[in-house]
Amino acid sequence: MEKPMREPIGNLKISHEVIATIASFAAREIDGVASMAAAPGNIKRFIRHATTEKSIRIELTDDVAAIDVYVNLRYGAKIPVVSEQIQRSVKDAVQNMTGIVVAKVNVFVVGIDFEEAAQA
């Protein structure tokens, strides 16, 4: 028994802000992530008054995304392990929620949060 094929009745466009929000939540769920960090400045962003999250950059080409994630990690976190978990989590979340193929997730560790270590 064949499944009936659905024909699209219109287009679906997902904004970069939505993708950035999904990626940000997925990254923050990972143990070892202290906070999201600000990405380095970009003059185009100031000119266009872009509202995308400052800690996530998305490059979308032919429905394939490349995502840059900027994070601060907790003191003591194993950077390679946490980075790999962030990559997996962001890729899975974006692909599952949007249907957009994620080609790569680049993780940039901008800083280390020492506050929790000092309180212990």
Domain extent for 23: 16-119
Residue 11 included in any domain = no
In a domain, 2, yes or no: no
CB-based contact 90:105 (threshold 8 Å):
yes
Reduced DSSP (H G I as helix, E B as strand, rest coil) percent helix, strand, coil of the chain, to 5: 35, 30, 35
Q: How many angstroms separate the CA atoms of 98 and 41, rounded?
A: 27
**pLDDT of amino acid 12:** 80
Predicted model pTM: 0.80
In a domain, 10, yes or no: no
In a domain, 64, yes or no: yes
Q: How many domains does the chain have?
A: 1
H or E, element range at 33:
strand 33-36
How many CB atoms within 10 Å of residue 40? 10
CATH number at residue 33: 3.30.70.1350
**Identity of residue 18:** V
The tens-digit pLDDT sequence of the chain (120 residues) is 566 667 778 888 889 999 999 999 999 999 999 999 988 875 555 555 444 448 999 999 988 999 999 999 999 999 999 999 999 999 999 999 999 999 999 999 999 999 865 565
pLDDT of 52 reads 43
